[in-house]
Each structure stands twice: as C-alpha cells, then as structure tokens.
Structure 1
Amino acid sequence: MDPEASRRDVEDRLAARAHPLAEAIAELRAAVSAARPDAVESWKWNAPSWALDDHFATLALRDPDEVLLILHAGARPRPDLGAVPVADPAGLLRVAAPARSIAAFRSVDQVRDARPAIEAVVREWAARVAPPAG
C-alpha cells in the first residue's frame, strides 16, 4: 500500500472507532509525522503505527480515557539493540523495557503542551532504533 493510501486507511479506521480522545490522537499523529516525515504511518496492532525499516512508534487506543505513545524497536525483540536512552527533559517517558518507552496522554491540551517534547523524543528514538535513511 502506498503511504498516502495507508494514511487514509488509518483515518478511516480511526473515524469508525470514534475514540473519545480523537483530537488528542490526531495531535499525536501530527507530532510523530512531523518528527519523522519519512516514516510511513499504517494500521498495525489495532492502532496507528509508524515505520522506517520496521515499526518504531505505535499508539495504544484501548483505554477511552488515555492514549499511549509506545516507542519500541519493531515487531520482534532486538537483543542486539540493548537499552535505548533518549533525552527526555519534559519527563514524558516511562521506560517499560530496555527498548520500549511509553508516554501517556489524557487530553488534547496535554498533547499540545508537550508537542515540542514529543517530537524531540520521537526524532531521537527513531534515530537510535532505525538505520539512517539512504
């Protein structure tokens, strides 16, 4: 699927889902896409997910009161990678495993207020887990 068709598929699935935090989800999608415009957004694990060579960021939409931004190193464990430290001066991330960190958001305002920090951690995370483009 081409990137534009994939993005439209994500939008259609989100519209059908009608999540109570739809605005926060839209803002998070925009932040991740702005941080890595070369990443392809698709629907994986029942949520929007972004990939370069492999997936590195996925939203979790199970909770109607909270949206999680999960930063990871792909679909399969990567023992070669080890810990993925990223600068997080805003304190957004909770380390869930050596190559998995999670940021939780409960409102669109919280996402908007944190947007520069979200973009910074996503940009750095993707640079650490994905090989450089080219």
Structure 2
Amino acid sequence: MGILERLFRPAGRPRHGQARHDQQARHDQARHGRPEQHRRRSPNEGWYRSATCRSLTAGQVRDRQFRSVRRGGLDPLEVYAFLHRVAGELAAARRELTYTTEENVRIKRALRSWQSRFAPRTHR
C-alpha cells in the first residue's frame, strides 16, 4: 500500500488489531486516570550486551536461574532477555564458523594450485 493510499484511506474500519489497542488504551486511561504510554522495547531491555561482554559458556547457559513470579512462573522479561543474548551469540558463532570454513576452502585451493605448479614433474 503506497503513501497516498494510506493518506486517503476511508475512515470506516480500523486496521487489524487497532480496535483492541484502542480498547486497551481506554481501559488503562479509566484505571489510571491517564493514557498508558506504549513504546516498543528492545528484547534485551539493556540487561545484556553480548558485544561488550565475554561469550557465554555452556555451563552458564545450563546453570542460569531466573527470578520467580506469580504462581511459580518465571519472569518473562528476564527469560526473553537471556534468550535474546543466547540467540545473538549463537548467530555470531555461526557467522564466524561460516567465515572460517570458507577461508579454509580458499587456503586448500591455493595450496593445491601451488603444489600443482611447483611439484616435481615425473616423465613416463
């Protein structure tokens, strides 16, 4: 949908999910006396910085304990932040593995090429 189509869209029906959002905003305003400020937050909430921290070890991932909340559950923000960190480190490790594998193939090809050029020739 282009910009002009969005600007001149008929005001009849709300977009998908918009009615529920409006209903939740009205509920929050009635409950707290002011509209709730909704903002999109990063999955890690600034708790983990895998780029500046040392990599996680397998033991740290296995032994990680999360804070308990209501009825024996786990704090979802803490769990999602940890999962986000683990996923980021896994993606970085896979990128590094791919780069190393490609570099290994390149070096092997160069070695074979060098060996074929400079290997002693045998005459039959």
Judge same fold: TM > 0.5, yes or no.
Answer: no
Greater helix share, structure number:
2
Larger radius of gyration: 2
- With normalisation by structure 2, the TM-score equals 0.22
Give the structure with the higher percent strand. 1
Q: Quick one: higher RCO (CA 8 Å, sep 6+), 1 or 2?
A: 1
TM-score (norm 1): 0.20
